[in-house]
Structure 1
Amino acid sequence: MALTLYVDTARWRAHQQTIVQQFPGIIPVCKGNGYGFGNERLADEAARFGADVLAVGTTYEAARIKDYFSGDLLVLTPFRLGEEPVPLPDRAIRSVSSVEGVRGLVGARVVVEVMSTMKRHGISEEDLPKLHAAIEDVRLEGFAIHLPLDRTDGSDAVQEVSDWMERLRNARLPLHTMFVSHLKSEELGRLQQQYPHTRFRARIGTRLWLGDHGATHYKGAVLDVTPVSKGDRFGYRQQKVGADGHLVVVAGGTSHGVGLEAPKALHGMMPRAKGVARAGLATMNRNQSPFYWADKQLWFAEPPHMQVSILFVPNDMPTPQVGDEMVAKLRHTTTTFDRLVDH
């Protein structure tokens, strides 16, 4: 009895191939919880379609995944002076976002990140002249730029990359490889045409692994079903049941990521209104769960437990049976499954 991730493997891999063909030289990203699949599984998939470089989030992830992928490992988190040393093989490539960082990695393979409009991290234009001497002591794999997902100001992603290419060229720095994130295939093609002597390599995670929403789905197994009447008390806090129905215990709790939600950027009045409505219901202990039964979204009877959730199913709906599975609409990047089933 488990929270299960079901994968339509043929469909999932067909989508991967579509992305691989759109982005020649793609560098798959494998980090965090492995986009819901686990990093070991993604490393295997990347090797299956012939990736020669795998991007990971941290040095700790690189150390854990090195035995599952034989190609190069690109660490996306920039090196910082004084960071805890993590033993990595020579095929590991470190990202660097400062001149000091480059100087601290003598002899290492490095990718220098430039500051984009993300304004997260990256070397500035003013520091480019200082790079000449610094890169002589490292094995420079290229430069990288991490672009924003949305451009509400109407700016052009290709132009932003092109502007940086010109800055690097004017600084007489090597332009053999540029690693990019969050570009469309058409935009990548425009850049490749504009700079034929530079190899552009797209680092892609979400679009590669999660781009076909119909290829995967979660289901939680029903563990117990208890009939209740209006006014009955139940649960840790002994709340009262609001109507006749059934309390259903389903696999999937906070340890799986159920009931946990990352903040979202809201645009427009309707999403904001819905957010206010949800907040109002929450003050009355009314919280919708991610579980569905008979095509209807169910309410949590009480906050989810560590490994299970208790849901309320009213009498006007079909009664679940122990062993049934409920569809769960969960965010892949915050969910940990009990088991993965290929079918």
Structure 2
Amino acid sequence: MSLVLHVDADHWRSGHAKTLARYPGIVPVIKGNGYGFGAGLLCREAQTMGVATIAVGTYVEAPAALAAFGGDVLVMEPYRAPIHADLPDLPHRRLVHTITSSADLGSLRSIEPAARVAVEGLTSMNRFGAPVAALSGLVDAASAEAVTLHLPLGTGHLEEIRRFVDAVPAVRRWFVSHVSPDELATLCSRYPGHEFRPRIGTDLWLAEPTSYEVRAHVLDVRAVAKGDRAGYRQRALPAGHILVVSGGTSHGVAMESPAAATTPRSRAIAVAEGVLEAAHKVRSPFTVSGSSPRFAEPPHMQCSLLVLPVGATPPAVGDTVTVRMRLTTTYPDAVELR
């Protein structure tokens, strides 16, 4: 049984090339599940791109990235003395640490006096960072080689970035997230002596959605009569076919992050989906015979049971069906580039 991410390599990489052209100085973000492709593959792709720096999400991800990529590795998780002081890779010369407080800086430098540091500013994201008023002192104490800013989604960040740049005008390198190509060009024009390096993940690795597809194997097919039961919960079935397909919770099937639901339409969809779930009529992300059959019950760990109604042509055992999944929460058994 397998759930496989199939990738048209040339098409996929054409999206990378377009993104690199739109964002000079790009710092590819490689974190978590590697956007469905796996972090190791993305590190190798970044090496081929010829970029100088990549960014990882956490210190746990740093050793593998250092092994697979020959350039600098920026850790976006801030160094915290109670959590990270015992990690063996702290002195690595290609590792760039993110610092947000003088206490953490003191801890890091007591372990590795030559540790490379980027100071993070506290943006309107209100996640990690030093307030703009404290930035100058921390940058000076750290002899920071860069300032990093993690901004909210969307555009309109130039004024916020300006406040930080004006606070520490001597810092020449800036790592920024969620800026548009136009905003990046404006920053470079406004501050010609500065280097703005956009950190980009989703818009790089998922730039060409038609270049990849998740497919699952059909493991079993059988006709069922109305009232037959199936699954752990022994729910009654309508007449038709029951399909057993690869792909379950361990792969990320039906494991979704909370939706924002910020518009009336999105809230209505969320309510409708809740009603369907309560009635055990949740549509699956699998496509079979041109439609999305419903789950017979919640997905199992490595496979799912689907209900195919009367009139729909069932697939054969060994066939593959496509699966609509959010790649940032997808863990395929294999990634096949062709």
**TM-score, normalised by the number of residues in structure 1:** 0.93
SS state of the match for residue 297, structure 1? coil
Kept in 2: contact 1:99–1:127 (CA 8 A): no
The offset of 1:64, in angstroms, is 2.2
1:148 and 2:152 are equivalent in the alignment: yes
Aligned-residue offset at 1:133: 5.2
On the 8 A contact 2:132/2:163 being kept in 1, the answer is no
Spell out the pairing of 1:5-44 with structure 2 (5 A cutoff). Answer: 5-44=5-44
Name 1:189's counterpart in structure 2: 185
Match of residue 86 from structure 1? 87
- 2:157 and 2:133 mapped to 1: Cα distance? 22
Q: 1:316 to 1:117 in 2, by over 3 A?
A: same
Q: Tell me, in whole angstroms, the C-alpha distance in 2 between the residues paired with 1:203 and 1:220.
A: 33
Q: Secondary structure at the match of 2:168?
A: helix
Residue 260 of structure 2 is matched in structure 1 by 265
- Say if 2:227 is the partner of 1:220: no
1:245/1:315 contact within 8 Å kept:
yes
> What secondary structure is seen at the aligned counterpart in 2 of 1:191?
helix
Deviations 1:138-174, CA, capped at 9 Å, x for gaps? xx221011110046xxxx21121112111223xxxx3
Shift of 1:264: 1.2
Residues 135-174 of structure 1: matches in 2 within 5 Å?
A: 135-136=142-143, 140-150=144-154, 156-169=156-169, 174=170
CA distance in 2, matches of 1:125, 1:144: 12
Measure the CA separation in 2 of the matches of 1:300 and 1:53.
43
Residue of structure 1 equivalent to 2:128: 121
For residue 19 of structure 1, report the CA deviation from its aligned partner. Answer: 0.8
Q: By how many angstroms is 1:49 displaced?
A: 0.8
Tell me if the contact between 2:81 and 2:108 (Cα under 8 Å) persists in the aligned partners: no
- Alignment partner of 1:316 is 2:326: no
CA distance in 1, matches of 2:331, 2:192: 43
Structure 1 counterpart of 2:251: 256
Q: Could you tell me the TM-score, scaled by structure 2's length?
A: 0.95
Q: For residues 265 and 24 of structure 1, what CA distance do their matches in structure 2 show?
A: 31
1:184-218 CA-partner distances (Å, limit 9, x unpaired): 11110000000000111011000000121111110
Structure 2 residue identity aligned to 1:164 = F
8 A Cα contact 1:177 1:200, kept in partner: yes
Q: Give the unaligned 5+ runs of structure 2.
A: none
Equivalent position SS for 1:90: coil
Q: Let me know the Cα RMSD of the aligned residues.
A: 1.3
**Residue of structure 1 equivalent to 2:106:** 103
User: 8 Å contact 2:118–2:146 — kept in the other structure?
Assistant: yes
Q: Is the 8 A contact 2:19 2:207 kept in 1?
A: no
SS of structure 2 residue aligned to 1:66? helix
1:331 counterpart = 2:326: yes
Q: Check whether the contact 2:133–2:167 (CA below 8 A) recurs between aligned residues.
A: no
Match of 1:193, as an amino acid?
Answer: S
Contact 1:55–1:73 (CA under 8 A) maintained in structure 2: yes
SS in 2 for 1:223: strand
1:306 CA displacement = 0.5
What is the match of residue 279 of structure 1? Answer: 274
Q: 1:67 to 1:133 in 2, by over 3 A?
A: closer
Equivalent-residue separation in structure 1 for 2:148 and 2:122 (angstroms): 9
**Which residue identity lines up with residue 86 of structure 1 in the other structure?**
L
SS at match of 1:83: helix
SS of residue matched to 1:294: coil
Say how many residue pairs are matched: 331
Deviation at 1:260, TM superposition (A): 0.9
Name stretches of at least 5 consecutive residues in structure 1 with no aligned partner: none
Within the alignment, does 1:134 sit opposite 2:137 as a pair?
Answer: no
Cα deviation, residue 294, structure 1:
2.1
1:176 Cα deviation from its structure 2 partner = 1.2
TM-aligned CA deviation for residue 102 of structure 1: 2.3
Q: In the TM superposition, what are the counterparts of 1:44-63 in structure 2 within 5 Å?
A: 44-63=44-63
Question: Equivalents in 2 of 1:133, 1:195: separation in Å?
Answer: 20
Extract structure 1 runs of 4+ deviating beyond 4 A: none
1:112 corresponds to: 119
